[in-house]
């Protein structure tokens, strides 16, 4: 079952939101689809990946369209040059526009946190796991980009810890969501990757299915859920999208499903 809600904006863009976040009335949030943009070919149509070979003017127009649907300003977007690590940045008003509308001044960061209203955090994806976080008590939001490397490094757990240290967030107050990504149905990996997970997690039996010949199916959704629970986020406060990017290529970009030549979706969130 898909626990994210699908929307179609008046300009035709299709995106998903987290109902538990929407119910707070505190944060605009979305995970985009590939539907409703101007890009063509393998990037058709709502490509938001500035590091792809798509035309930059197409990508900027696509950002304009999703921002119009969300009723936020493109000039308030903040996006990092992600590197599949666990580095985190506290974002301020002075960062608005970085990464998309002006210089890519936030480099090597895979998670963004802010408590500033209208600052729109953005992270991009094409199979990796998007993690959404909201502390409704202290009015803090965060996005984390968790590929398998970031998942091994427990980036979700580290973001909650940073929220706690910087803003006084209590993990039990936080609500979280794990967005569309490659699912356990489609994510095959090898022994070298599994070894790293088993070094960092005590019980991976529920997340790994052996396939033989040193191949395994790995459930990145579940592993990231475990990392959030480790620091105290309540299971009842975690929404799972249960949407596999590979299985839903008609709506979502997939790096693996499209053999490496594809566009990017974005997770976007801003405090009201």
Residue range 179-191, pLDDT digits in tens: 999 999 999 999 9
pLDDT band at 2, cuts 50/70/90? low
Per-residue pLDDT at 1: 57
The domain spanning residue 146 has which CATH number?
Answer: 3.60.140.10
C-alpha dist (Å) from residue 58 to 31, 49, 50, 80, 83: 19, 10, 10, 19, 24
β pairing state of 129-135 and 88-90: unpaired
Query: Is 209 within the bounds of a domain?
Result: no
For 261, the token pair is 């030549």
Per-residue pLDDT at 143: 98
Query: Is 219 within the bounds of a domain?
Result: no
Query: Is 156 within the bounds of a domain?
Result: yes
Q: Give the structural domain span for 127.
A: 5-182+237-271
For 189, the token pair is 């990996």
**Mean pLDDT in the chain?**
96
Query: Is 203 within the bounds of a domain?
Result: no
Query: Is 84 within the bounds of a domain?
Result: yes
- % of residues, the chain, pLDDT over 90: 94
- Exposure string for 181-217, b = 16+ CB within 10 A, e = fewer: bbbbebbebeeeebeebeeebeebeebbeeeeeeebb
Query: Is 190 within the bounds of a domain?
Result: no
Q: Using CA atoms, how far apart are residues 98 and 103, in angstroms rounded to an integer?
A: 6
pLDDT digits (tens, 9 = 90+) for 129-159: 999 999 999 999 999 999 999 999 999 999 9
Q: pTM of the prediction?
A: 0.98
- Mean pLDDT (whole number) for 220-244: 97
Per-residue pLDDT at 105: 75
pLDDT band at 103, cuts 50/70/90? confident
Q: Using CA atoms, how far apart are residues 38 and 172, in angstroms rounded to an integer?
A: 42
pLDDT digits (tens, 9 = 90+) for 40-81: 999 999 999 999 999 999 999 999 999 999 999 999 999 988
**Which is nearest to 102 in space by CA: 54, 60, 144, 70?**
60
Q: Where are the beta strands (DSSP E) in the chain?
A: 5-8, 14-17, 27-32, 77-79, 88-90, 111-114, 120-125, 129-135, 140-146, 175-178, 188-190, 208-212, 215-218, 238-240, 265-271
pLDDT digits (tens, 9 = 90+) for 10-31: 999 999 999 999 999 999 999 9
- Structurally, the chain folds into a number of domains equal to 1
C-alpha dist (Å) from residue 132 to 27, 82, 160: 11, 16, 11
For 47, the token pair is 């490509």
pLDDT digits (tens, 9 = 90+) for 28-43: 999 999 999 999 999 9
SS3 category, 118: coil
Query: Is 150 within the bounds of a domain?
Result: yes
CB 180 within 8 A of CB 128: no
Query: Is 125 within the bounds of a domain?
Result: yes
């Amino acid at each position: 079952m898909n626990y994210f809600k699908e929307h179609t904006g008046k300009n035709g863009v299709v995106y998903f939101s987290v109902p538990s976040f929407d119910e707070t009335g505190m944060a605009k949030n979305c995970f985009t689809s590939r539907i409703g943009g101007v890009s063509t070919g393998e990037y058709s149509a709502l490509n938001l990946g500035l590091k792809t070979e798509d035309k930059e003017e197409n990508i900027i127009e696509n950002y304009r369209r999703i921002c119009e649907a969300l009723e936020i300003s493109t000039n308030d977007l903040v996006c990092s040059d992600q590197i599949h690590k666990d580095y985190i940045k506290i974002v301020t008003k002075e960062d608005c526009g970085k990464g998309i509308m002006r210089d890519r001044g936030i480099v090597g960061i895979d998670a963004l946190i802010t408590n500033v209203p209208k600052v729109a955090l953005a992270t991009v994806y094409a199979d990796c796991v998007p993690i959404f976080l909201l502390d409704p008590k202290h009015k803090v939001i965060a996005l984390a980009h968790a590929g398998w490397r970031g998942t091994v490094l427990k980036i979700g757990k580290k973001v909650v810890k940073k929220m706690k240290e910087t803003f006084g967030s209590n993990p039990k107050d936080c609500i979280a969501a794990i967005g569309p990504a490659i699912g356990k149905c489609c994510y095959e990996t090898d022994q070298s990757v599994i070894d790293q997970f088993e070094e960092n997690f005590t019980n991976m039996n529920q997340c790994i299915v052996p396939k033989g010949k040193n191949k395994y199916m790995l459930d990145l959704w579940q592993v990231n859920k475990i990392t959030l629970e480790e620091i105290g986020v309540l299971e009842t406060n975690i929404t799972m999208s249960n949407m596999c990017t590979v299985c839903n290529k008609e709506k979502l970009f997939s790096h693996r499903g499209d053999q490496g030549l594809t566009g990017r979706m974005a997770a976007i969130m801003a405090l009201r």
